[in-house]
Amino acid sequence: NAGVMQNPRHLVRRRGQEARLRCSPMKGHSHVYWYRQLPEEGLKFMVYLQKENIIDESGMPKERFSAEFPKEGPSILRIQQVVRGDSAAYFCASSKDESNEQFFGPGTRLTVL
Amino acid sequence: GQQVMQIPQYQHVQEGEDFTTYCNSSTTLSNIQWYKQRPGGHPVFLIQLVKSGEVKKQKRLTFQFGEAKKNSSLHITATQTTDVGTYFCAGQGYGGTSYGKLTFGQGTILTVHP
């Protein structure tokens, strides 16, 4: 399966812990996007990255959240000191370039206790 | 910032009836993409529309992009129970803060009664 891969699929954290979400884009795709979906809501853009560069992080909360897409390895979305309001589904998408269709991974469901 | 409104929020139909969902953007779009999401699943790409006035068909699904590239619709003919799910439109702008990212509509939840 050459689709977008995300892990873990489910993640449970206690308040104050750190959450690390990983995303491997489709083969041949160098553009990665992270979106957050709260229950019964639409998807909200968080951050857009290319290899080693953050292109647009306008949707990222100013504190506790960070993202990277290193030269080697998957893209990482990191949430420090998680709070209950961070509980959501986090989806990663990838595209061949910025104007092409985006393909989504299966998501990581984060639950903060 | 760019906003995409989608209506209706919910649609209940009898199997065999038609279904339409509409999207309207506050700004002109470079393209619009449509996705389907099943409960507990992830958004699955359906189609991308790029040209003004474009119409594309996929079997029973018809997608339209308005002349001004600010609105779009998805029409399903003769719905089937396999069509259930949430349909999202997502618009992409031309540049600046709209570059690359998708702005999603709120989605239309389709229920099909057999």
Is A69's Cβ below 8 Å from some Cβ in B?
no
State residue B81 phi and psi, 5-degree precision: -65, -25
Which residue in the set A58, A98, A102 is minimally distant from B97, CB to CB? A58
Contact A51, A30 (CB under 8 A): yes
Per-residue tokens: B96: 């600046």
Residue in A with minimal Cα distance to B49: A101
Which residue in the set A43, A99, A103 is minimally distant from B31, CB to CB? A99
pLDDT tens string B57-114:
999 999 999 999 999 999 999 999 999 999 999 999 887 655 789 999 999 999 999 9
* 8 Å CB contact of A105 and B42: yes
Distance from the Cα of B98 to chain A's closest Cα (Å) equals: 9
pLDDT tens string A59-91:
999 999 999 999 999 999 999 999 999 999 999
Is A1's Cβ below 8 Å from some Cβ in B?
no
pLDDT the model gives residue B92? 93
pLDDT tens string A29-64:
999 999 999 987 889 999 999 988 999 999 999 999
pLDDT the model gives residue A1? 52
How far is A20 from A110, CA to CA, in rounded Å? 10
